[in-house]
């Protein structure tokens, strides 16, 4: 007699499993724990041996659905196919598809970048993929992602006005596919077909204070900063070093020579925007930042607090990592300088503008800013020829900042002394 939902619901578990038969090999197995499993018994077409196929659990799979699954399996059996083997093949194929999905391949690529990308850059790349790529193409087999799929992903980002992020995401997807092609996981790179598909990036200069009077106001605000001592120290050193914000916040004590005749901060090429150059030429030099007496005083005072750490400016919650990339900008906002007025990167533009106005050698200024020199011969000369001049410039710059900070009225620029 065929089963009914009423009969299934009324059935009570016993000490041993109970079979509630429906027909044509279909039955519901009621276990002592109360679980209800749909089963279908059949004989394999090649060996005639009895086999059992699971069709789901009740009530997730209802009686009508279980019968449909049974009938589909019977049709396969009638055609000479083994439903059990077919299911295993489908599961294997599904597992293979999942193992070569875009997300799986992307995460494998991310692992290969751990020695290449800075931790913060790697984290940003992973987060960007998680937000903008994985939800739409993450589960797709890497071989089935088409240029149109990639374009739709990129357009979602672009329509939010994040043009730079869209271009960066395109770059990451292209890198992932180059990895996939090298490892035999894909044959084409759909992101390479996106040339000209996105709106061009319009560079927006980072906000910076370059007016001498306003610089004095900024320096006085920094001296009055009431945040943590570590952040206050970073703020004081930012205008004195005018290095890139990432280089400053990740500065390590091992990179500093404080006791030599000419105190310096030596930033390895591996921590700067020279990783590609370093790969091409392992002899790519480090960047030397001469330490003015004012900078040396701040660093020595800071060493009493963080000198035993790896970093000059360790993170608040985790001292094994440097301070957050947002700390300096957040401190500037706290002091009343909004993002359209001053940024951490703005200290570079501030120094470049004023040092040029003061008459210092533009080549020495560019070298101290660590701008890449395209002419390799000229670059070698710059490294050798301007260090002594840069030492004088950095001390004169620190003295000039003290003057600007002390002035509350009209500022009289201090020109570079003639040789």
The residues assigned a catalytic role are 244, 275, 345, 348, 371, 381
Question: To 10 degrees, the CA torsion angle through 262, 220, 366, 412?
Answer: -100
Question: To 10 degrees, the CA torsion angle through 136, 142, 146, 152?
Answer: 20
Place of tokens 């039955």: 27
**Spatial distance between the Cα atoms of 327 and 305, rounded to a whole number of angstroms:** 18
* CA dist list (Å): 368 to 68, 351, 352: 76, 10, 9
**Spatial distance between the Cα atoms of 201 and 165, rounded to a whole number of angstroms:** 10
Q: What angle do CA 390, 396, 402 make, to 5 degrees?
A: 140
**Spatial distance between the Cα atoms of 61 and 32, rounded to a whole number of angstroms:** 20
**SS3 per residue for 239-277:** HHHCCCHHHHHCCEHHHEECCCCCCEEEECHHHCCCHHH
* 34-54 burial: b if 16+ Cβ within 10 Å, else e: eebbbbbebeeeeeeeeeebe
Outline where 286-345 has alpha helix (H): 293-306, 327-334
* 226-257 burial: b if 16+ Cβ within 10 Å, else e: eeeebbbbbbbbbbbbbbbbbbbbbbbbebbe
Q: Cis peptide leading into 76, omega within 30 of 0?
A: no
């Amino acid at each position: 007699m065929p089963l009914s939902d009423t009969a299934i619901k009324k059935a009570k578990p016993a000490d041993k499993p109970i079979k509630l038969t429906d027909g044509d090999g279909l039955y519901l197995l009621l276990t002592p724990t109360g679980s209800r499993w749909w089963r279908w018994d059949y004989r394999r077409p090649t060996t005639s041996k009895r086999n059992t196929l699971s069709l789901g659990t009740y009530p997730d799979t209802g009686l009508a659905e279980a019968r449909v699954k049974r009938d589909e399996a019977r049709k396969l059996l009638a055609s000479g196919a083994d439903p059990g083997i077919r299911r295993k093949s489908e599961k294997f194929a599904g597992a293979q598809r999942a193992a070569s999905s875009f997300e799986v391949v992307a995460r494998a690529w991310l692992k290969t970048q751990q020695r290449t990308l800075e931790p913060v850059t790697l984290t940003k790349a992973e987060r960007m993929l998680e937000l903008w790529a994985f939800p739409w193409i993450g589960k797709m087999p890497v071989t089935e992602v088409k240029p149109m799929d990639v374009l739709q992903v990129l357009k979602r980002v672009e329509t939010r006005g994040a043009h730079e992020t869209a271009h960066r995401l395109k770059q990451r997807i292209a890198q992932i596919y180059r990895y996939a092609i090298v490892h035999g996981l894909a044959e084409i790179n759909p992101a390479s077909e996106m040339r000209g598909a996105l709106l061009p990036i319009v560079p927006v200069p980072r906000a910076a204070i370059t007016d001498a009077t306003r610089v004095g106001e900024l320096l006085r605000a920094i001296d009055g900063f009431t945040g943590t001592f570590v952040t206050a120290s970073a703020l004081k050193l930012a205008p004195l070093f005018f290095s890139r914000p990432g280089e400053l916040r990740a500065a390590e004590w091992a990179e500093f020579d404080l006791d030599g005749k000419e105190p310096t901060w030596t930033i390895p090429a591996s921590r700067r925007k020279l990783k590609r150059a370093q790969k091409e030429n392992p002899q790519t030099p480090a960047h030397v930042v001469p330490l003015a007496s004012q900078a040396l005083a701040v660093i020595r005072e800071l060493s009493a607090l963080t000198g035993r750490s790896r970093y000059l400016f360790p993170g608040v919650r985790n001292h094994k990592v440097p301070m957050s990339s947002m700390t300096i900008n957040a401190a500037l906002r706290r002091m009343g300088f909004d993002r359209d007025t001053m940024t951490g990167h703005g200290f570079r533009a501030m120094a470049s503008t004023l040092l040029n106005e003061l008459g210092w050698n533009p080549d020495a200024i560019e070298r101290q800013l660590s701008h890449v020199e395209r002419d390799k011969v000229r670059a070698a000369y710059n490294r050798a020829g301007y260090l002594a001049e840069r030492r004088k410039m950095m001390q004169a710059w620190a003295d000039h900042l003290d003057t600007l900070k002390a002035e509350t009225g009209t500022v009289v620029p201090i020109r570079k002394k003639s040789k």
